A = this chain, B = another copy of it.
Amino acid sequence: MTELKLIESIRSQVKPHPNVMLGIGDDCAVLQSHPQAQLVTTDTLMDGRHFICGDTPPALIGRKSLAVSISDIAAMGGVPEAAFVSLVIPQRKESQPLVEGLMSGIVTLADKFHIAIAGGDSNSWSGPLVVSITLTGRPHHRGPVRRSGAKPGDSIFVTGPLGGSIDDHHLNFEPRTFLAKELLDLTPITSMIDLSDGLATDLRHICSESAVSAQLNPEAIPFRSNITHLDTRLEKALTDGEDFELCFSLNPKGVETLKRAKLSQPIYHVGTIVKQGPNALQWNDGTAIISTGFEHGF
């Protein structure tokens, strides 16, 4: 298949979008400007690292490649708008169904979240599949929720059970943009991050950007039902990664507001922000949490 045919096929699947003035087919896409700021995030997923070609159905590879970026927009409290899809495709006989499946997974999830596929790039080589997606979005009218606004006394929440995402959750998780909007419609959120590298690593980012520490209640941390072993499940919930739930902090007034509200799904109060101490993370009995989630390196 030539790149031109691939682009034509993608162009034919893509619906018009009110904020995309010019989509696929020119040197650049042209997006409508917002009165508010624009969010931009980018994620690159590779065969053997984030998915296994041959094992993972192509549509789920495509779905995950877009879902991780939607999750980043959710973590700023935003609404996704336009995606730019770069494919590096293995030169193999089976690549045509691979690309078709990949794109169908991307387009299906994009439609569900009202995201336009506004551009991209495609190349082929003798190496493994790489999918890189850049996603734009608009913030909630309260403004983008950063990692840096947590204050001592705030409560820490997560939006779903953690750990064991390797089974299939990392491929079919639901990015939390709708819930983030629901929360922000009710109350300001002082800080937020999405859990991609594990609560232990990602909550440390909030602590370091906000210059605070965090106390977690081991009894309150929700586990995914596939991690049942008592000795290891706390460790797995903290470090497995790819949960793609949100972790956020609320001030006491926000907690009161949410107590009175009916949310569309449960959230879990897992701890408290405290003054910055020698350990970014500790249990609520004061002992340090030394676990770390996934650390990228080369």
Contact = CB atoms under 8 A, between A and B. Distances in A.
Given A128-B127, A295-B2, A40 B90 contact: no
Interface string A24-52: 01111111111111111111101011000
> How many identical subunits does the complex contain?
2
A298 B99 contact: yes
Contacts of A109: none
A76 B42 contact: no
A144 B28 contact: yes
Interface string A184-205: 0000000011100000000000
A86 interface: yes
A121 B32 contact: no
Contacts of A78: 28
Contact of A2 (B39, B73, B297): B297
Contact of A39 (B28, B40, B134, B148): B28
A27 B40 contact: no
A182 interface: no
A243 interface: no
Contact of A40 (B29, B127, B128): B29
A123 B197 CA distance: 13
A40 B297 contact: no
Given A37-B33, A40-B31, A123-B49, A295 B22 contact: no
A9 to B, nearest CB: 13
Interface of A: 1-4, 6, 21-22, 25-44, 46, 48-49, 72-73, 75-76, 78, 82, 84, 86-91, 95-96, 99, 118-128, 130, 132, 134, 136-137, 139, 144, 146-148, 192-194, 209, 295-298
